[in-house]
Chain A
Amino acid sequence: MSVEVKPEVVGAIEQAERELQALVADSESEIGAVAHGFQELAHDTDEILRLAGEVVGCVEDEKVLSVLPKVRSLGAAARQFVRERLEATEGVLETVTAEAKLLDRLSQLTRGQRSIARETQTLSVLTNIEVARLGQLGAGFQYLAHELDEFSQTVAKSTRELSSHTEERKASVEETKRLLATGLPRIRREFARIESDLVNALAVVDSSQEQLARAPVQFRGCVEEIASQIAGVVAAVQGHDITRQQLEHVQEALLWMAGRIEEEDDADQPQIAAGLAIQLFQLRGIQETVGRWLEQIRCCTGGIERISSSELVKIGPLVLDQERELSAQLARIEALEQECEKDNEEVQGTFAGLSSLMRLVGEHLEKSRYVRDRLQLLTFNSIVEASRLGSQADAILEISQSIKRISVEWAEMTERSAQAKEEILALVEEAKTGMQAFSEDSKEGLTAVRGETSAGLEHLREAAQFAADSAAEIEAATARLQGRLSEVGGARDRLDGCFSRIGTVREVVDGIKRDQEALAPGALERCDRKMAEERFSASYTTEIERHLLRAALYGTPVPEVEQNLAGNDVELF
Chain B
Amino acid sequence: MRRILTVDDSASIRQMVSFTLTNAGYEVGEAVDGKDGLEKASQKSFDLIITDLNMPNMDGIEMITAVRKLPGYGFTPILMLTTESQAEKKDAGRKAGATGWIVKPFNAEQLIAVVQKLVK
Residues of A within 8 A of B (CB): 28, 31-32, 35-36, 39, 42, 46, 227, 230-231, 234-242, 244-245, 541-543, 563-573
The chain A residue sitting closest to B93, CB to CB, is: A573
Q: Given the known A-B contacts A234-B19, A541-B83, are A567 and B10 also in contact in the complex, defined by CB atoms under 8 Å?
A: no
Distance in angstroms from A402 CB to nearest chain B CB is 117
Contact of B104 among A31, A39, A241, A573 (CB under 8 A): A241
Evaluate contact between B79 and A570: CB separation under 8 angstroms. yes
Stretch at the interface among B38-46, B65-73, B106-114: B106-114
- Chain A residues near B101 (CB-CB < 8 A): 570-571, 573
Nearest chain B CB to A23 CB, angstrom units: 15
Give the total number of A-B pairs whose CB atoms are below 8 A apart.
Answer: 107
For the complex, count residues of B whose C-beta is within 8 A of A: 35
Distance to closest chain A CB from B3 (angstroms): 19
Q: A245-B83, A570-B111, A573-B101 are in contact. Are A238 and B94 (CB under 8 A)?
A: no
Which A residues are in CB contact (< 8 Å) with B19? 35, 39, 42, 234
Check A568–B100 contact: CB distance below 8 A.
no
Q: Does B12 make an interface contact (CB < 8 A)?
A: yes
* Cβ of A285 to closest chain B Cβ, rounded Å: 14
Question: What 1/0 mask marks residues of chain B from 12 to 46 whose CB sits below 8 Å from any chain A CB?
Answer: 11011001100100000000000000000000000
What 8 new A-B contacts, CB under 8 Å, besides A35-B12, A238-B13, A569-B107?
A236-B105, A241-B13, A242-B104, A245-B54, A541-B82, A570-B110, A570-B111, A571-B90
- Could you tell me the distance in whole angstroms from the C-beta of A571 to the nearest C-beta in chain B? 5
Q: Is the CB of B83 within 8 A of A573?
A: no
- B residues within 8 Å of A by Cβ? 8, 10-13, 15-16, 19-20, 23, 53-54, 79, 82-86, 90, 94, 98-111, 114
Known: A39-B19, A541-B53, A568-B102. A227 touches B109 (CB 8 A): yes
Partner of A230, one of B90, B105, B108: B108
**Residue in B54, B85, B107 whose Cβ sees the most chain A Cβ within 10 Å:** B107
Closest-by-CB residue of A relative to B79 is: A570
Chain B proximity of A520: nearest CB distance (Å): 34
Question: CA separation between A570 and B79, bound complex, in Å?
Answer: 9
Q: Is the CB of A238 within 8 A of B85?
A: no
A238-B102 contact given A28-B11, A541-B82, A573-B94, CB 8 Å threshold: no
> Chain B interface mostly helix, strand, loop or mixed?
mixed
B13 / chain A contacts, CB cutoff of 8 Å = 238, 241
Q: How far is the CB of A251 from chain B (nearest CB, A)?
A: 15
| Nearest-neighbor residue (CB-CB) of A238 within chain B | B105
A567 to B17, CA, bound (A): 13
CB distance from B15 to the nearest CB of A (A): 5
The listed residue (B16, B90, B98, B110) touching A237 by CB distance below 8 A is: B16
User: Contact between B98 and A239 (Cβ–Cβ < 8 Å)?
Assistant: no
Residue in contact with B103 in the complex, picked from A36, A46, A568, CB distance below 8 Å = A568
Minimum CB–CB distance for A230 against chain B, Å: 7
Asked if B108 contacts A541 (CB within 8 A), the reply is: no
Q: How far is the CB of B66 from chain A (nearest CB, A)?
A: 19
> Are the C-beta atoms of A569 and B110 separated by less than 8 Å?
yes
A572 lies within 8 A of B108 (CB)? no
Given A245-B54, A571-B101, A571-B102: A542 in contact with B107 (beta carbons within 8 A): no
Which of B11, B20, B79, B114 is in CB contact (< 8 Å) with A32?
B11
The answer to whether A541 and B15 have CB atoms under 8 Å apart is no
Which residue of chain A lies nearest to B53 when distances are taken between CB atoms in the complex?
A541
Residue numbers in B under 8 Å from A231 (CB-CB): 107-109
Most chain B beta-carbon neighbours within 10 Å: one of A236, A245, A570, A571: A570
Flag if A573 contacts B99 (CB, 8 Å). yes
Distance between B114 CB and nearest chain A CB, rounded to angstroms? 4
Q: Is the CB of A564 within 8 A of B83?
A: no
Contacts of A568 in B (CB 8 A): 102-107, 110
User: What is the CA–CA distance of A95 and B103 in the complex, to the nearest angstrom?
Assistant: 93
A541 lies within 8 A of B105 (CB): no
Of B15, B53, B82, B103, which one neighbours A35 at CB under 8 angstroms?
A: B15
- A sample of 7 inter-chain contacts (CB < 8 A) reads A28-B12, A231-B109, A241-B10, A543-B85, A568-B105, A570-B106, A570-B114
